Amino acid sequence: MGKLYQEITPEIISWVKQQHLFFVSTAPLASDGHVNCSPKGLDTLRILGPRQIAYLDLTGSGAETIAHLRENGRIVFMFCALEGSPKIVRFHGKGEVVTPDSPVWSELRSFFPTYPGARAIIHAQITRVSDSCGYGVPKYEYVEERDTLERWAESKNVEGLSLYRGQKNARSIDDLPSLDPGNGKDT
Protein backbone atom coordinates (compact mmCIF):
# COMPACT_ATOMS: atom_id res chain seq x y z
CA MET A 1 0.00 0.00 0.00
CA GLY A 2 2.44 2.70 1.13
CA LYS A 3 5.58 3.62 -0.73
CA LEU A 4 8.81 5.41 0.17
CA TYR A 5 10.37 7.76 -2.40
CA GLN A 6 13.93 9.04 -2.79
CA GLU A 7 12.63 12.57 -3.42
CA ILE A 8 9.54 14.59 -4.31
CA THR A 9 8.82 13.27 -7.80
CA PRO A 10 7.17 15.21 -10.64
CA GLU A 11 4.07 13.01 -10.19
CA ILE A 12 3.87 13.88 -6.49
CA ILE A 13 4.36 17.58 -7.29
CA SER A 14 1.49 17.44 -9.78
CA TRP A 15 -0.76 15.70 -7.25
CA VAL A 16 0.16 18.10 -4.40
CA LYS A 17 -0.67 21.10 -6.60
CA GLN A 18 -4.22 19.75 -6.95
CA GLN A 19 -4.78 19.69 -3.18
CA HIS A 20 -6.45 22.73 -1.59
CA LEU A 21 -5.43 21.88 1.95
CA PHE A 22 -2.34 20.59 3.72
CA PHE A 23 -1.35 20.05 7.32
CA VAL A 24 1.88 20.92 9.13
CA SER A 25 2.83 19.12 12.36
CA THR A 26 5.60 19.88 14.83
CA ALA A 27 6.37 19.12 18.46
CA PRO A 28 8.63 20.48 21.18
CA LEU A 29 11.41 18.35 22.62
CA ALA A 30 9.77 18.14 26.05
CA SER A 31 7.73 14.94 26.36
CA ASP A 32 4.99 16.85 28.17
CA GLY A 33 4.89 19.58 25.50
CA HIS A 34 2.01 19.99 23.11
CA VAL A 35 2.17 18.45 19.65
CA ASN A 36 0.81 20.89 17.08
CA CYS A 37 -1.02 20.21 13.82
CA SER A 38 -2.06 23.18 11.68
CA PRO A 39 -4.24 23.16 8.57
CA LYS A 40 -3.01 25.42 5.75
CA GLY A 41 -4.68 26.67 2.62
CA LEU A 42 -4.67 29.54 0.15
CA ASP A 43 -1.84 29.80 -2.39
CA THR A 44 0.89 29.52 0.24
CA LEU A 45 2.85 26.36 -0.64
CA ARG A 46 5.81 25.97 -2.99
CA ILE A 47 7.87 22.91 -3.80
CA LEU A 48 11.26 24.41 -4.55
CA GLY A 49 13.14 21.26 -5.48
CA PRO A 50 13.14 17.48 -5.12
CA ARG A 51 13.88 17.81 -1.38
CA GLN A 52 12.91 21.39 -0.61
CA ILE A 53 9.56 22.96 0.29
CA ALA A 54 8.36 26.28 1.68
CA TYR A 55 5.13 27.90 2.70
CA LEU A 56 4.18 31.47 3.46
CA ASP A 57 3.17 31.69 7.12
CA LEU A 58 0.35 34.12 7.77
CA THR A 59 -0.49 35.77 11.08
CA GLY A 60 -2.80 33.60 13.14
CA SER A 61 -3.89 32.91 16.67
CA GLY A 62 -0.64 31.17 17.61
CA ALA A 63 2.89 30.51 16.47
CA GLU A 64 3.51 26.93 17.56
CA THR A 65 5.19 25.83 14.32
CA ILE A 66 7.65 28.72 14.56
CA ALA A 67 8.46 27.97 18.22
CA HIS A 68 8.97 24.26 17.60
CA LEU A 69 11.14 24.80 14.53
CA ARG A 70 13.32 27.28 16.39
CA GLU A 71 13.74 24.74 19.17
CA ASN A 72 14.38 21.55 17.18
CA GLY A 73 13.59 21.92 13.46
CA ARG A 74 11.40 18.79 13.15
CA ILE A 75 8.43 19.09 10.79
CA VAL A 76 6.07 16.95 8.75
CA PHE A 77 3.75 18.08 5.96
CA MET A 78 0.72 15.94 5.19
CA PHE A 79 -1.52 16.10 2.15
CA CYS A 80 -4.63 13.95 1.71
CA ALA A 81 -6.97 13.59 -1.22
CA LEU A 82 -10.41 14.83 -0.30
CA GLU A 83 -11.57 14.46 -3.90
CA GLY A 84 -10.75 11.80 -6.47
CA SER A 85 -8.75 8.67 -5.73
CA PRO A 86 -7.69 8.16 -2.10
CA LYS A 87 -4.09 9.04 -1.25
CA ILE A 88 -2.01 10.51 1.55
CA VAL A 89 1.48 11.97 1.06
CA ARG A 90 3.86 12.99 3.84
CA PHE A 91 7.08 15.02 3.68
CA HIS A 92 9.23 14.73 6.81
CA GLY A 93 12.14 17.09 7.24
CA LYS A 94 14.06 19.80 9.02
CA GLY A 95 12.57 23.25 8.85
CA GLU A 96 13.71 26.77 9.51
CA VAL A 97 11.86 30.00 10.12
CA VAL A 98 12.69 32.78 7.67
CA THR A 99 11.59 36.24 8.79
CA PRO A 100 11.77 39.58 6.95
CA ASP A 101 15.14 40.38 8.53
CA SER A 102 16.71 37.19 7.11
CA PRO A 103 19.13 37.45 4.17
CA VAL A 104 17.09 34.89 2.19
CA TRP A 105 13.70 36.50 2.84
CA SER A 106 13.50 38.46 -0.44
CA GLU A 107 14.47 35.46 -2.54
CA LEU A 108 11.94 33.12 -0.90
CA ARG A 109 9.22 35.80 -0.65
CA SER A 110 9.34 36.24 -4.43
CA PHE A 111 7.79 32.77 -4.88
CA PHE A 112 4.51 33.76 -3.20
CA PRO A 113 1.64 36.13 -3.92
CA THR A 114 1.03 39.10 -1.65
CA TYR A 115 -1.10 38.33 1.38
CA PRO A 116 -1.79 40.73 4.23
CA GLY A 117 -0.41 39.37 7.47
CA ALA A 118 2.57 37.48 6.02
CA ARG A 119 4.89 37.07 9.01
CA ALA A 120 7.38 34.34 8.06
CA ILE A 121 8.27 31.67 5.55
CA ILE A 122 8.67 28.12 6.74
CA HIS A 123 11.44 26.57 4.65
CA ALA A 124 12.19 22.85 4.96
CA GLN A 125 14.73 20.37 3.67
CA ILE A 126 12.84 17.13 3.14
CA THR A 127 14.47 13.94 4.40
CA ARG A 128 11.63 11.46 3.84
CA VAL A 129 8.86 11.29 1.23
CA SER A 130 6.14 8.66 1.55
CA ASP A 131 2.60 7.92 0.54
CA SER A 132 -0.14 5.72 1.92
CA CYS A 133 -3.57 4.59 0.80
CA GLY A 134 -5.92 7.13 2.35
CA TYR A 135 -8.77 4.65 2.09
CA GLY A 136 -10.28 5.86 5.37
CA VAL A 137 -10.28 9.56 4.42
CA PRO A 138 -13.79 10.76 3.52
CA LYS A 139 -14.53 12.62 0.29
CA TYR A 140 -15.31 16.32 0.44
CA GLU A 141 -16.14 18.69 -2.34
CA TYR A 142 -13.99 21.82 -2.63
CA VAL A 143 -16.11 24.95 -2.88
CA GLU A 144 -13.75 27.92 -2.56
CA GLU A 145 -11.02 29.53 -0.49
CA ARG A 146 -12.15 31.59 2.49
CA ASP A 147 -11.13 35.24 2.54
CA THR A 148 -11.69 35.65 6.29
CA LEU A 149 -8.00 35.62 7.28
CA GLU A 150 -7.10 38.14 4.59
CA ARG A 151 -9.96 40.47 5.57
CA TRP A 152 -9.01 40.17 9.26
CA ALA A 153 -5.36 41.00 8.54
CA GLU A 154 -6.32 43.96 6.33
CA SER A 155 -8.57 45.32 9.08
CA LYS A 156 -5.70 45.22 11.60
CA ASN A 157 -3.31 47.29 9.41
CA VAL A 158 0.48 47.04 9.83
CA GLU A 159 0.61 48.55 13.33
CA GLY A 160 -2.29 46.44 14.56
CA LEU A 161 -0.73 43.25 13.22
CA SER A 162 2.57 44.08 14.89
CA LEU A 163 0.80 44.66 18.21
CA TYR A 164 -1.22 41.44 17.81
CA ARG A 165 1.92 39.42 17.09
CA GLY A 166 3.60 40.87 20.16
CA GLN A 167 0.63 39.84 22.29
CA LYS A 168 -0.36 36.51 20.71
CA ASN A 169 2.63 35.19 18.72
CA ALA A 170 5.68 35.88 20.92
CA ARG A 171 5.46 32.63 22.94
CA SER A 172 4.10 29.15 22.28
CA ILE A 173 1.52 27.49 24.49
CA ASP A 174 4.47 25.70 26.15
CA ASP A 175 6.15 29.10 26.68
CA LEU A 176 8.81 28.62 23.98
CA PRO A 177 9.91 31.75 22.11
CA SER A 178 8.15 32.19 18.76
CA LEU A 179 8.23 35.54 16.98
CA ASP A 180 10.22 38.48 18.24
CA PRO A 181 7.79 41.41 18.40
CA GLY A 182 9.93 43.26 15.83
CA ASN A 183 10.01 40.30 13.40
CA GLY A 184 7.26 39.03 11.20
CA LYS A 185 6.44 42.44 9.78
CA ASP A 186 4.05 42.57 6.88
CA THR A 187 5.81 42.69 3.56
**Amino acid 187: pLDDT:** 44
Tens digit of each residue's pLDDT (9 = 90 or more) over 5-26? 999 999 999 999 999 999 999 9
Q: Residue 180: what pLDDT? A: 83
pLDDT average, residue stretch 125-139: 97
Look at residue 92 and tell me if it is in a domain.
Answer: yes
Evaluate whether residue 36 is within a structural domain.
yes
**118 is in which domain, residue-wise?**
3-168
* Average model confidence (pLDDT) across the chain: 95
**For residues 73 and 130, is the Cβ–Cβ distance under 8 A?**
no
CATH of the domain at 104: 2.30.110.10
> Smallest Cα–Cα separation from 54: which of 12, 18, 4, 104?
104
Number of domains in the chain: 1
Residues 143-187 pLDDT 10s: 999 999 999 999 999 999 999 999 999 999 999 999 986 655 544
Q: Does 27 reside within a domain? A: yes
> Quick check: is 181 in a domain?
no
pLDDT at 1 over 90: no
pTM summary value? 0.94
